[in-house]
């Protein structure tokens, strides 16, 4: 079974950048191959990773629903072919983009086939990193389920922390099979206040650490450079690597018999 880490958080907190840094960490520590899944309808994980997306699984669903299946090809073979076409291969990891949400009409058959192929696919990877859309919709729709770590990213604001706590609370109530949830506060200029720490303690969510505001991230993003290529001595990369080292090792130890 793959070791799955899903990321969640409100919009603008740096969740996708954090997903890219997590993949960078796993590759740097030879925890490969990795399947990176962009489950955000506003897909941009590929930009963080420096990859060009050719197709999405959302397009495969649309094609099958519209009956765009070549003659002589069964629907399951067609869906498997489309899944392979949507895969983007890179050094140490592969990326697959879920694409836009479904439109009107029934997608049951397409989704059933796609789910079956995805379940087979993930077993080829020891690690899966899933970047989810902002907010809580992905959890209420059970897009995120059966994950070893739910990493909830927040900015330093009260609203960001409250959103992170609500995401964790919803995940618990839906019983979606999360092994362990952590919060990471991103873009910090100073250590969290005692009031912020008390909010997190009362919410029952473990704070894994903080990542400082880093102009290098802004420069890479503004110049269209993949943030996965940021130097490891950058303040944000060092802080993120320290957090990932802790949560991955701790969760692995907890899962060991």
Q: pLDDT, tens digit, for every residue of 11-42?
A: 889 999 999 999 999 999 999 999 998 887 77
Which tens digits make up the pLDDT trace of 160-212? 999 999 999 988 888 878 899 999 999 999 999 999 999 999 999 999 999 99
- For the chain, give the percent of residues with pLDDT over 70: 87
The answer on pLDDT for 51 being more than 90 is yes
Q: Given this model, what pLDDT does residue 154 score?
A: 96
pLDDT for 202: 94
104: confidence class by pLDDT, cuts 50, 70, 90:
low
Distances (CA, A) of 257 to 125, 248, 253, 254: 22, 16, 8, 8
- pTM of the shown model: 0.88
For residue range 213-226, what is the model confidence (pLDDT) as tens digits? 999 999 998 998 99
**Under CATH, domain 3-255 is a member of which superfamily?**
P-loop containing nucleotide triphosphate hydrolases (3.40.50.300)
Angle at 208 between CA 6 and CA 255, to 5 degrees: 60
pLDDT at 255: 55
> Listing from the earlier edge strand, what are the strands of the sheet with 147-154?
88-89, 93-97, 34-39, 127-132, 3-8, 147-154, 178-188, 206-212
pLDDT at 94: 95
Beta strands 88-89; 93-97: pairing state: antiparallel
Q: Under a CB-based contact definition with an 8 Å cutoff, are residues 29 and 48 in contact?
A: no
Residues of the chain with pLDDT > 90, as a percent, come to 53
Q: Alpha-carbon distance 113 to 165, whole Å?
A: 34
* CA Rg value for the chain: 18
Q: DSSP letter string over 183-243?
A: EEEEEESSPPPHHHHHHHHHHT-EEEEEEE--HHHHHHHHTT--GGGS-TTSHHHHHHHHH
């Amino acid at each position: 079974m793959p070791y799955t880490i899903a990321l969640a958080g409100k919009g603008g907190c740096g969740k996708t950048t954090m997903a890219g840094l997590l993949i960078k960490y796993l590759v740097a520590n030879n925890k490969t191959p990795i399947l990176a899944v962009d489950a955000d309808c506003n897909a941009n994980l590929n930009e963080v990773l420096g990859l060009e997306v050719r197709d999405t699984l959302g397009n495969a669903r649309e094609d099958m629903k519209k009956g765009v299946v070549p003659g002589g090809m069964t629907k399951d073979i067609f869906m498997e072919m489309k899944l392979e076409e949507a895969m983007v291969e890179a050094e140490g990891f592969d990326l697959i983009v879920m694409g836009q949400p479904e439109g009107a009409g029934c997608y049951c058959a397409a989704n059933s086939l796609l789910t079956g192929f995805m379940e087979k696919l993930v077993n080829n990877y020891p690690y899966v990193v899933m970047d989810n859309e902002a907010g809580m919709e992905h959890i209420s729709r059970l897009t995120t389920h059966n994950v070893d770590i739910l990493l909830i990213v927040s900015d330093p604001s009260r609203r960001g922390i409250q959103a992170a706590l609500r995401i964790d609370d919803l995940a618990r109530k839906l019983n979606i099979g999360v092994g362990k949830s952590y919060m990471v506060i991103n873009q910090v200029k100073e250590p969290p206040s005692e009031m912020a720490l008390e909010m997190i303690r009362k919410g029952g969510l473990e704070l894994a650490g903080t990542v400082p505001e880093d102009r290098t991230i802004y420069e890479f993003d503004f110049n269209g450079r993949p943030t996965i290529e940021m130097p490891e001595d950058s303040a944000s990369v060092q802080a993120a690597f320290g957090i990932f080292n802790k949560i991955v090792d701790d969760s692995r130890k907890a899962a060991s018999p």
